[in-house]
Structure 1
C-alpha cells in the first residue's frame, strides 16, 4: 500500500461469538467487526508480519459473557 503497511486478521467466528479482540503492542486493544459468524480486524503497521509462523493471540467473547483465547496461524 502506498500509505504504509497494514495488519489484518479475518476469519470465521461462529454464531455465539459477539466480540473478538487483539492486544496490540503498539495500538492497545483492537476490536474486530463481528457479523454473520465472521470477524475482521485491522490496524496500521506490520505488527502481524510473523503471524504465519508465530500465530496471533485473539480473545473471543461469547453471547453468555464468557471468553476464550485462541492462537491463530495466519496463512
Structure 2
C-alpha cells in the first residue's frame, strides 16, 4: 500500500436496500453510504485492487430486515 491508495465501490441499489457493508480484512466492517437508490463505500488502502476481476462480497440489508450476501463485480 502506498500513501494515497484508496479502495472505492459505488453503484445503484434497489429502493428496498437500507444498508451495504463490506467486511474488510484490514479495517473491519465498512458501512456504505446508501441514499436515493445508490451506495458508495471507501476506505484507505488497495484492498479492492483485484475486485474488477474477482468481484467482492458485501452484506446487504433490506427494508424488511432481511439480509443477503451479494457479489459485486466492480
Same fold (TM over 0.5): yes
Partner of 2:16: 16
Q: Residue by residue, what CA displacement relative to the aligned partner does 1:9-37 show, whole Å, maximum 9, x if unpaired?
A: 00011100000000000000000000001
Tell me the TM-score normalised to structure 1 length: 0.93
Alignment partners' CA distance in 2, 1:18 and 1:64: 9
Structure 1 consecutive aligned stretches of length 4 or more whose deviation exceeds 3 Å: none
Q: What count of residue pairs does the alignment treat as equivalent? A: 73
Alignment partners' CA distance in 1, 2:63 and 2:72: 21
Partner of 1:50: 50
Tell me the TM-score normalised to structure 2 length: 0.94
How many angstroms does 1:70 deviate by?
A: 0.7
Structure 1, unaligned stretches of length 5 or more?
A: none
